């Protein structure tokens, strides 16, 4: 059903480019805030050695940012990202309170995307079923947070705790908008969702039901493929099927259902279609809704 318009290597490379831009900016803001906090702290410290240590941490953190970014992205691209034994959040933050705050903020960030994060993960999972070059969970919000926190242990000791706290408080939220952009790209290259709700049974010998309406297997298969094609054409700006409501009769259920039959499977015998014209429209509408909503 999915017709990928480019190679898995290109998809992975483009996703990396998009994530790098967004994540780099989010982390740059975190580093900037950390530096400001340490600088203010140094300004209020009277002891010369303590002040020197704070300024030294700022300097080392600044010069090490490029290496930090590279290490984060390298971990995210690890093909065994899901197989690596994950540490608990409190192990990464060294603070149970911060770990709880991180969990809350991750959930809040996912909710703030209005389903974009979940849809992105569904598309990535679908890609993993088509190719072994893209790991499941690639660039998930949790994977990004884990990579950032694990690499934060390489920062100067005086910078580690404020970095973790500011990342949890602000960085997670600043990353979440990227998933809308990632979804747009995946749609453009033809990564359409698998239709989990499409049929009522996994047993191919049973008659499938779409939207509560019984249909033949031949009809369901033809409909999925053709509706996906029509959606891809619409997204690309080159639709091959248009329906003009020029006359009053065009607005009738029977007329529109005939148009649908002509566009989806004109050679499919009537016996394979839902019996009622309204049911034909309903079934195709449910299928289109499942595709657009990523079958979540």
Query: What CA–CA distance (Å, rounded) separates 289 from 253?
Result: 19
Q: Is the pLDDT of residue 6 over 60?
A: yes
Q: Is the pLDDT of residue 213 over 60?
A: no
pLDDT of residue 78: 76
Query: What CA–CA distance (Å, rounded) separates 57 from 156?
Result: 6
pLDDT of residue 85: 53
Query: What CA–CA distance (Å, rounded) separates 250 from 219?
Result: 24
Cα 75 to chain centroid distance, Å, stands at 18
pLDDT of residue 241: 61
CA dihedral 120, 123, 129, 135 (to 10 degrees): -30
When mean pLDDT is compared across 2-6, 170-174, 214-218, the lowest value belongs to 214-218
When mean pLDDT is compared across 89-103, 199-213, 275-289, the lowest value belongs to 199-213
| Digit-coded pLDDT (tens) for 83-140 | 455 678 999 998 999 999 999 999 999 888 877 888 888 888 888 888 888 888 899 9
pLDDT of residue 211: 45
Residue predicted with more confidence, 4 or 284: 284
pLDDT of residue 236: 65
Helix (H/G/I), strand (E/B), else coil: 270: helix
C-alpha pair distances (Å), 14 with each of 17, 24, 130, 295: 5, 15, 18, 24
Q: Is the pLDDT of residue 207 over 50?
A: no
Q: Is the separation of the CB atoms in 13 and 189 below 8 Å?
A: no
pTM above 0.85, yes or no: no
Cα 113 to chain centroid distance, Å, stands at 10
Please report which confidence band the pLDDT of residue 144 belongs to, taking 50, 70 and 90 as the band edges: very high
C-alpha pair distances (Å), 142 with each of 93, 146, 180: 14, 6, 16
């Amino acid at each position: 059903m999915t017709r990928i318009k480019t190679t898995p290597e290109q998809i992975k490379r483009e996703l990396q480019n998009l994530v790098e831009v967004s994540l780099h900016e989010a982390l740059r803001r975190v580093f900037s805030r950390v530096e400001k906090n340490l600088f203010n702290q140094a300004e209020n410290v009277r002891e010369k050695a303590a002040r020197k240590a704070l300024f030294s941490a700022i300097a080392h953190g600044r010069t090490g940012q490029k290496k930090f970014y590279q290490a984060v992205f390298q971990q995210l691209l690890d093909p065994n990202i899901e197989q690596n034994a994950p540490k608990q959040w409190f192990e990464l933050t060294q603070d149970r309170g911060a770990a709880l705050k991180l969990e809350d903020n991750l959930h809040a960030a996912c909710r703030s995307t209005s389903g974009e994060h979940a849809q992105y993960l569904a598309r990535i999972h679908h890609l993993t079923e088509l190719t072994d070059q893209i790991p499941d969970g690639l660039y998930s919000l949790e994977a990004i947070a884990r990579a950032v926190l694990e690499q934060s242990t390489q920062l100067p000791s005086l910078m580690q705790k404020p970095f973790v706290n500011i990342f949890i408080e602000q960085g997670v939220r600043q990353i979440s908008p990227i998933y809308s952009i990632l979804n747009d790209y995946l749609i453009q290259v033809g990564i359409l969702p698998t239709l989990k709700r499409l049929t009522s049974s996994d047993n191919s010998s049973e008659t499938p039901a779409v939207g509560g309406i019984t249909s033949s297997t031949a009809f369901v298969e033809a409909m999925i493929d053709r509706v996906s094609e029509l959606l891809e054409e619409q997204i690309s700006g080159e639709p091959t099927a248009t329906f003009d409501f020029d006359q009053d009769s065009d607005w009738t259920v029977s007329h529109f259902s005939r148009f649908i039959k002509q566009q989806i499977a004109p050679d499919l015998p009537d016996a394979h279609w839902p019996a009622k014209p309204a049911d034909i429209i309903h079934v195709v509408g449910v299928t289109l809704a499942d595709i657009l909503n990523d079958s979540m």
